Amino acid sequence: MSEMNRIIDEADQSLLVALVLDALRRTMVHYGFWFAEVEHQLGMELALKIEKSAWAGSSANQMRRLGKILGFAVEEDGTPSRLRQMSREQLIDLLKNLGVNWLANDGIWFQAIEKEHGMVDAKRCNDSCWTRYSPYEAERIKELLGLPEAGGIPALKKALAFRMYALINRQSIEDLDADTIIFRMNECRVQRARQRKGLPDYPCKSVGLVEYPYFARTIDSRIRTECVGCPPDPHPEDWFCAWKFTLEK
């Protein structure tokens, strides 16, 4: 037995459990590094295409192996069978909880940077992160829903309803005409939490000016985005931020 194998074989139960969780963590972060580097080297458009292919192979492979070890059934395409067996209500509840986890993860990253380096650096990293995440989310939604490349405002309206934010925040859309809508975030989990603590609105306009245009352009490159209002801008009681989307022909 090699020295390295002996060290693992002699590890106690608590260390082995910690190693399992850390292996999952390393795999997730390594996957993210791959995507970030491909985007850096080849550009976002190619990175999105390559990630689609990589995920198809990676997720199915990992799920089948984990299912065999942990004792849950996995279908041929790599989907855990339990998901197919859940009711609509259970799946919606799961999605909402995944949305809360996603938002908490985003906030924890922000706070970790802010604690060590201050608000300016945290906002700078946050805004830059959304230049990658927003088009990625839009591309995932386009594929899931089978939206066309030039779907215009109808495609954008549908895509906005399938964002992670839509799972946990209340939002609405006003049709101005066939080519123009105003999207409003009526309830924002982050801002409401700050209100409960007696804090002012988080000034999220800088990230919104990245997030929404990048998302809309990925759905349809002809769509232009205009900020109607977003903190620190003043806003009425019934919404926190609002964005105007126009299809330019």
pLDDT in tens, 148-207: 999 999 999 999 999 999 999 999 999 999 999 999 999 999 999 999 999 999 999 999
Cα–Cα distance for residue pair 153/157, rounded to 1 Å: 6
Domain ranges of the chain: 1-85, 125-249
- DSSP code per residue over 180-246: EEEEEEEE-HHHHHHHHTTPPPP--HHHHHHHHHHHHHHH-TTEEEEEEE-TTS---TT-SEEEEEE
For residue 99, give the nearest of 193, 161, 167 by alpha carbon: 167
pLDDT in tens, 17-67: 898 899 999 999 999 999 999 999 999 999 999 999 999 999 999 999 999
Which pLDDT score is estimated for 3?
63
